[in-house]
Chain A
Amino acid sequence: MEELDGEPTITLIPGMNSKKKQMCFDWGPGEMLVCETTFDKKEKSETVPNCPYIHIVRKDVDVYSQILRKLFNESHGIFVGLQRIEEELTGKSRKAQLVRVSKNYRSVIRACMEEMHQVAIAAKDPASGHRYSSQVSILSAMELIWNLCEILFIEVAPAGPLLLHLLDWVRLHVCEVDTLSADVLGSENPSKHESFWNLVTILVLQGRLDEARQMLSKEADANPPSAGMCRILGELMRTMPVLSPGNTQTLTELELKWQHWCEECERHLQDGTFAANPHLECLCKIMLGDEATLLEQKELLSNWYHFLVTRLLYSHPTVKPIDLHFYAQSSLDMFLGGESSSEPLDNILMAAFEFDIHQVIKECSIALSNWWFVAHLTDLLDHCKLLQSHNLYFGSNMREFLLLEYASGLFAHHSLWQLAVDYFDYCPELGRVSLELHIERIPLNTEQKALKVLRICEQRQMTEQVRSICKILAMKAVRNNRLGSALSWSVRAKDAAFATLVSDRFLKDYCERGCFSDLDLIDNLGPAMMLSDRLTFLDALPLLEQKQVIFSAEQTYELMRCLEDLTSGKLECAEFDAHRLQDDDIETTKVEMLRLALARNLARAIVREGSLEGS
């Protein structure tokens, strides 16, 4: 048995006192049944339980969230699309396609986040508002992690572009800048706004130097004495060497130019160009990557990975992917400063910077309440051929394990189970057998749902499940006296035995009432009647029961004579045999039926012939 990764959570069952009473439980496909027992080791057993209920305990509550439903539905489409284009993914376009898939997943997460955020704002009571807000932060963390994984594992950005991607990453996730910018620029006198310098600073921290320059020009206009300094600083900002996409310079060239630029900044600092304005001097220090200055901006940076990226931008812009984790670790340590410990999110990001994919997935599995994230991310990374077959002790690889867990969770839902079917389809080892087990347990409240289940089973040649489901439906139909439906289900299952059962019911009705209740069905059986000889017999019987008398009295007498000949002949050569006895029983019933029908037909024929004169 492996060690536990974390402490298991405790769930209290309402109404049960676990100190006094024992509980018993049983596992189901997606949930657990729990109830109180009357068993007590210490005292003699009591007969009256305190808690009379059976509780259903479900681990996965997210599946019932209205907003997350969209996440499940949309991502299902992306997942299936990815599996289908797998064969077509070749060569250079492969990476681009996989990146596109990754961005699709992320946009779905963002859409959910946005919607959840709106709901959180509009929430009437603070408790649910708080619940939605925490859900938003979880989604935001998921998108943050996924985005980083996309940059490091799927995009596989090399040194140079790596920094640009990381800058985008940070800009996307520290979004207070936009609101702040709107606030400040929207005011009458932007440069006099109390948050003006905060805005300029954070723009510089995020490497948005063009926008920072624009702000400085506003300050220059409003405050002429500082215009000269603003102009010089602005010029430094403009000339900072950056690798732009499509730029053909090599990393070495970039590095060289950047060194020169740093020296120029340093010179200004030494000369005290900005000494008169502490704000501007601070900005210059930031641009030189001065760690102490950067750490003073903790509040604006708000987290250690922002600190990391800013550090890299202004000290090591040509950082290589393999060196990332050094800077990441030191950034985390410096930022936390020994005051607080790292949180799960920090550990996950650190694992990503260390390129330890398995650790990322493991930590995410523990931290998140639902398998959605790890299942889809792992599947995508598997398509990138990044996961060695990490065999778990029960033999299935990690990707399949996570997909199975996720899909099983979906099966508990009355409508999302359809998505799960596709996930099982793409699990080559245990998918089919899992599907077989789950699909038989779906409650079939309507025929339309049953038809969908049957279609799924038939498409996968799951004949056993088809027969079993059709039998259940046919039985239900018989119980509800829907004999036509029952027959329809037994025809679909190609179940001759059941078709016989249904026709027995018809015959029973006929015996009791003396007429057929559902003549429309029997009249129009078609080839279905070949399924069972009982049905064939049924098909013929109505000839004697038509409103219009088909056989005349004379003909009926003839038929009766034939019947007597047949039955007496059979009795003579009957052997004493158990099998024959059963057959005889069936034969006797048929004969009784025929006799009854012939007698009735005779009666009608006599009446008709007696009353009408030759018409």
Chain B
Amino acid sequence: MVGFQLYKEHTQRGRIPCPGTLSVSQQWTAAHYHTGPGSPSYSGAPCTGVVCDNPEIVTVGEDGRINLFRVDHKEAVRTIDNADSSTLHAVTFLRTPEILTVNSIGQLKIWDFRQQGNEPSQILSLTGDRVPLHCVDRHPNQQHVVATGGQDGMLSIWDVRQGTMPVSLLKAHEAEMWEVHFHPSNPDHLFTCSEDGSLWHWDASTDTPEKSSLFHQGRTSTFLSHSISNQANVHHSLTSSWLSTDPAKDRIEITSLLPSRTLSVNSLDVLGPCLVCGTDAEAIYVTRQLFS
């Protein structure tokens, strides 16, 4: 659960903390609220997403507000009030100074901090049901490629330069997908976790047939081809296996990483050969041999 306070830790984003101690270095209270701190009927709002790119930190919340903080500033550097009329669930950096948010009516919005005003520079969404989107992550190397996860457990891959529709829609989990992460150094690998109690490793690398096996017995793998939307003319110099439109050639191997069904897996992070995730059974799973 995320409250409406922000704590900064000494470790930087993505790094697994070394065994030592953490202490609060900076605190921003009342970053998210429905009625402001000045009013007698002050009511705070949960902060739902935080992302940082040293020294900047961006937060979003149930109040539809976007805050930009810097680590050395006591006050927010920029605040976009009522950026969204629904709840903002997650945020990620695109090319700085752009960020991308997802909300509970199924929209992706790109915001440019260079522009004044409170309007997004671009809005993307799926046609059809406005399924809430819960998580988003950007490809580490290709800053136009973004993955989102929705309330129906669907994984979508987007190219934000091309139109307003996703490139791929992949049926995945049976319930809300809480987090999606590209592997920071092996971006052909993607990880998702869900309310249905599973954590999946998506391997889109197109190398040798004998793929590296994962660490648990009892894994299930299925091969899934991309489904493509009507993006007929996709020109890009850098090919990405996630955006590839050739279903016969590119298949994704999906493996379930947790040995047995658990309660919801709420969060995960991955770095190098290490992966860590947490569940509603108040357990944390760690592996240090992701690709062995």
**How distant is the Cα of A26 from the Cα of B128 in the complex, in angstroms?**
49
Q: A484-B64, A488-B130, A526-B128 are in contact. Are A415 and B46 (CB under 8 A)?
A: no
A279: chain B residues within 8 A (beta carbon): none
Identity of the chain A residue whose Cβ is nearest the Cβ of B103 in the assembled complex: A484
Q: A451-B176, A527-B128 are in contact. Are A520 and B1 (CB under 8 A)?
A: no
Is B85's CB under 8 angstroms from A485's CB? yes
A482: chain B residues within 8 A (beta carbon): 34, 62-64, 85-87
Is A415's CB under 8 angstroms from B282's CB? yes
Residues A397-455 near B (CB distance < 8 A): 415, 418-419, 445-449, 451-452, 455
Is A448's CB under 8 angstroms from B1's CB? yes
Residues B252-269 near A (CB distance < 8 A): 260, 262-264
**How distant is the Cα of A483 from the Cα of B104 in the complex, in angstroms?**
11
In the complex, B125 has a CB within 8 A of chain A: yes
A446, A447, A520, A526: the one within 8 Å of B84 (CB): A520
B286 nearest CB across to chain A (Å): 17
B109: chain A residues within 8 A (beta carbon): 520
In the complex, B175 has a CB within 8 A of chain A: yes
Is A484's CB under 8 angstroms from B264's CB? no
B64: chain A residues within 8 A (beta carbon): 482, 484-485
A491: chain B residues within 8 A (beta carbon): 130
Is B195's CB under 8 angstroms from A521's CB? no
Is A488's CB under 8 angstroms from B86's CB? yes
Most buried by A among B85, B120, B151: B85
Q: A480-B34, A482-B87 are in contact. Are A446 and B130 (CB under 8 A)?
A: no
A73, A81, A447: the one within 8 Å of B260 (CB): A81
Per-residue CB contact flags for chain A residues 526-558 toward chain B (1 = under 8 Å, else 0) read 111000000000000000000000000000000
A525: chain B residues within 8 A (beta carbon): 130
A526: chain B residues within 8 A (beta carbon): 127-130
In the complex, A487 has a CB within 8 A of chain B: yes
Is A518's CB under 8 angstroms from B85's CB? yes
Q: A418-B263, A526-B128, A527-B128 are in contact. Are A520 and B34 (CB under 8 A)?
A: no
Identity of the chain A residue whose Cβ is nearest the Cβ of B282 in the assembled complex: A73
A29: chain B residues within 8 A (beta carbon): none
In the complex, A130 has a CB within 8 A of chain B: no
B195: chain A residues within 8 A (beta carbon): 451-452, 455
Q: How many residues of A contact B (CB 8 A)?
A: 35
B34, B86, B280: the one within 8 Å of A484 (CB): B86
Per-residue CB contact flags for chain B residues 53-65 toward chain A (1 = under 8 Å, else 0) read 0000000001110
Q: How many residues of B contact A (CB 8 A)?
A: 41
In the complex, B170 has a CB within 8 A of chain A: no
B283: chain A residues within 8 A (beta carbon): 73
Per-residue CB contact flags for chain B residues 138-159 toward chain A (1 = under 8 Å, else 0) read 0000000000000100000000
Is B1's CB under 8 angstroms from A446's CB? yes
Q: A452-B264, A484-B84, A484-B85 are in contact. Are A520 and B107 (CB under 8 A)?
A: yes
A448: chain B residues within 8 A (beta carbon): 1-2, 46, 48
**How distant is the Cα of A73 from the Cα of B279 in the complex, in angstroms?**
11
B43: chain A residues within 8 A (beta carbon): 480
B29 nearest CB across to chain A (Å): 17
In the complex, A524 has a CB within 8 A of chain B: yes
Residues B143-199 near A (CB distance < 8 A): 151, 175-176, 195
Per-residue CB contact flags for chain A residues 490-534 toward chain B (1 = under 8 Å, else 0) read 010000000000000000000000000110110011111000000
In the complex, B281 has a CB within 8 A of chain A: yes
**How distant is the Cα of A483 from the Cα of B103 in the complex, in angstroms?**
13
In the complex, A77 has a CB within 8 A of chain B: yes
A447: chain B residues within 8 A (beta carbon): 46, 48, 62, 87, 104
Q: A446-B2, A491-B130, A527-B128 are in contact. Are A520 and B123 (CB under 8 A)?
A: yes
B281: chain A residues within 8 A (beta carbon): 73, 76-77, 419
In the complex, A69 has a CB within 8 A of chain B: yes
A487: chain B residues within 8 A (beta carbon): 86, 105
B46 nearest CB across to chain A (Å): 4
**How distant is the Cα of A609 from the Cα of B282 in the complex, in angstroms?**
66
Is A451's CB under 8 angstroms from B151's CB? yes
**How distant is the Cα of A449 from the Cα of B2 in the complex, in angstroms?**
11
Identity of the chain A residue whose Cβ is nearest the Cβ of B266 in the assembled complex: A448
Is A480's CB under 8 angstroms from B63's CB? yes
A482 nearest CB across to chain B (Å): 6
B129, B176, B264: the one within 8 Å of A527 (CB): B129
B124 nearest CB across to chain A (Å): 10
A77: chain B residues within 8 A (beta carbon): 262, 281
A527: chain B residues within 8 A (beta carbon): 128-129
B85: chain A residues within 8 A (beta carbon): 482-485, 517-518, 520-521
**How distant is the Cα of A501 from the Cα of B2 in the complex, in angstroms?**
30
Is B87's CB under 8 angstroms from A485's CB? yes
A455: chain B residues within 8 A (beta carbon): 175-176, 195
Q: A446-B62, A484-B104, A527-B128 are in contact. Are A69 and B282 (CB under 8 A)?
A: yes
A70: chain B residues within 8 A (beta carbon): 282
Residues B115-133 near A (CB distance < 8 A): 120, 123, 125, 127-130, 132
**How distant is the Cα of A516 from the Cα of B175 in the complex, in angstroms?**
34
**How distant is the Cα of A284 from the Cα of B175 in the complex, in angstroms?**
69
**How distant is the Cα of A600 from the Cα of B252 in the complex, in angstroms?**
54
Q: A447-B87, A521-B86, A526-B129 are in contact. Are A484 and B48 (CB under 8 A)?
A: no
Q: A77-B262, A446-B1, A482-B85 are in contact. Are A488 and B46 (CB under 8 A)?
A: no
A63 nearest CB across to chain B (Å): 13
A81: chain B residues within 8 A (beta carbon): 260
Most buried by B among A70, A446, A525: A446
A480: chain B residues within 8 A (beta carbon): 34-35, 43, 45, 63
Q: A73-B281, A520-B107 are in contact. Are A445 and B46 (CB under 8 A)?
A: yes
Is A524's CB under 8 angstroms from B129's CB? no
Per-residue CB contact flags for chain A residues 63-75 toward chain B (1 = under 8 Å, else 0) read 0000001100100
A-B contact pairs, 22 of them (CB 8 A): A73-B281, A73-B282, A419-B281, A446-B2, A447-B46, A447-B48, A447-B87, A451-B151, A452-B264, A480-B34, A480-B35, A484-B85, A484-B87, A484-B105, A485-B64, A485-B85, A488-B87, A488-B104, A517-B82, A520-B109, A524-B125, A526-B127
| Extra contacts besides A418-B280, A480-B43 (15): CB < 8 Å | A447-B87, A448-B2, A451-B176, A481-B34, A484-B64, A484-B85, A484-B87, A485-B85, A488-B87, A488-B104, A520-B120, A521-B86, A524-B123, A527-B128, A527-B129
The 7 closest A-B pairs by CB, nearest first: A484-B86, A484-B85, A518-B85, A480-B34, A446-B46, A485-B86, A488-B104
